[in-house]
Each structure stands twice: as structure tokens, then as C-alpha cells.
Amino acid sequence: MPMHIRRHAKIINATIYLEDNSLVGVAREIQLPKLEWHEVEHQSLGQVAVFKSPARPLQALEGSITWESVDPEIARRTLNPARAVILQAHWEQDAWSEDGWDAGESVTMVAVMRCLFKATELEALKNAEQSGCQQEFTCTRLVQRVHSENEPILEVDVFANSVKVDGQEVFGR
């Protein structure tokens, strides 16, 4: 399959969902988890350089979401650190070329996360201003895909002990 290099792709719209409810106008920003592998260092006598290779475990999948305002219904779902909730992010990524907007290369991306919210930082309360807050979470499952495709680009499931890229186990089984 030929690789299309997208140049000048920009996020133009994003929608966040908690379970099945849209959070348009409620979520200010979301930080998706960072994928970072533990590393194993290899060095031996006469080797010209130290070589670091990825080890099997990923670092904890942690992210955060900043709410525009504190919503009691959202708080009821996210303040219990022992109950996982599904958080989704959908974002349109427009691609541009020298001819202008390239509809064929533009995609809608989706990230679905099973999250345990672990920290809540309430903002200062000020008259005539919204009282938002920031929450941090850890993911036990993360799936990222193009909306129009069935096969995920990335799938990490901590409890199933599985990490797949493009449907293939990273370290085999």
C-alpha cells in the first residue's frame, strides 16, 4: 500500500464524549496519553556505542482533561477513582496541499480510552468567571483509529496484556 504523506494537517474541530454523552462546550482541552516504552540498555566489550531497545512494558498511560466548568453529573462519574469510565475524543484533521484543502487526505481520528480518574484540581473561584477544573486519569485501554476504518492504528489493553499496532502484536505472542 503506498504511503501518503500528509503535509500541513491541522486539527480544526474536536468533540469529547464521556460514555455516550457529548461534552461539546464542556471540555476545554484534553491531553491524550503519552506512549513511552521502558528501555533496556545493551553494551558489551568492543561495542562502538550503547544500544537502547524498547522493553515490553509501556510506561503508565496517563492523560488529563480540563473542564470549562464543573458539572455535577460529570463529577459523579469521574470522582470515584475505583470506577472506570469511557472517554472518547474525535477530531477532524484537515490536510492541505499546494492546491488547497485535500478532502481525500483529510480524516476524522478517534481515541477511545477506559479511564480511571486519579486527581482533580479545582480552579480558583472568581466572581463572574467560570469555575472549571482539571482532572488527571490513567488508561487501562486505549484504541486509536481513523473513524472510517475498522482496524485500529493502535490498541493497548493493560488487562489483556496486549499492544497492537495496525492489528499486529508489537512483541508477538
**4 pLDDT higher than 80:** no
pTM: 0.83
Q: How confident is the model at residue 115 (pLDDT cuts 50, 70, 90)?
A: very high
At which residue does the C-alpha cell 476504518 appear? 149
- Residue 45: per-residue pLDDT: 84
**131 pLDDT higher than 80:** no
- Residue 10: per-residue pLDDT: 63
Quick: pLDDT tens for 31-77: 999 999 999 999 988 889 999 998 888 999 999 998 887 788 888 88
DSSP, res 34: P
**Overall fold of domain 10-32+54-144:** Pnp Oxidase; Chain A (2.30.110)
Mean pLDDT (the chain, rounded) = 86
- Residue 21: per-residue pLDDT: 80
**139 pLDDT higher than 90:** yes
- Residue 106: per-residue pLDDT: 84
Beta pairing class for 133-146 and 62-67 = antiparallel
Q: How confident is the model at residue 12 (pLDDT cuts 50, 70, 90)?
A: low
148-155: long-range contacts (C-beta < 8 A, 24 or more apart)?
148/107, 148/108, 154/35
Q: What are phi and psi of 62, to 5 degrees?
A: -120, 140
Q: How confident is the model at residue 112 (pLDDT cuts 50, 70, 90)?
A: very high
**151 pLDDT higher than 90:** yes
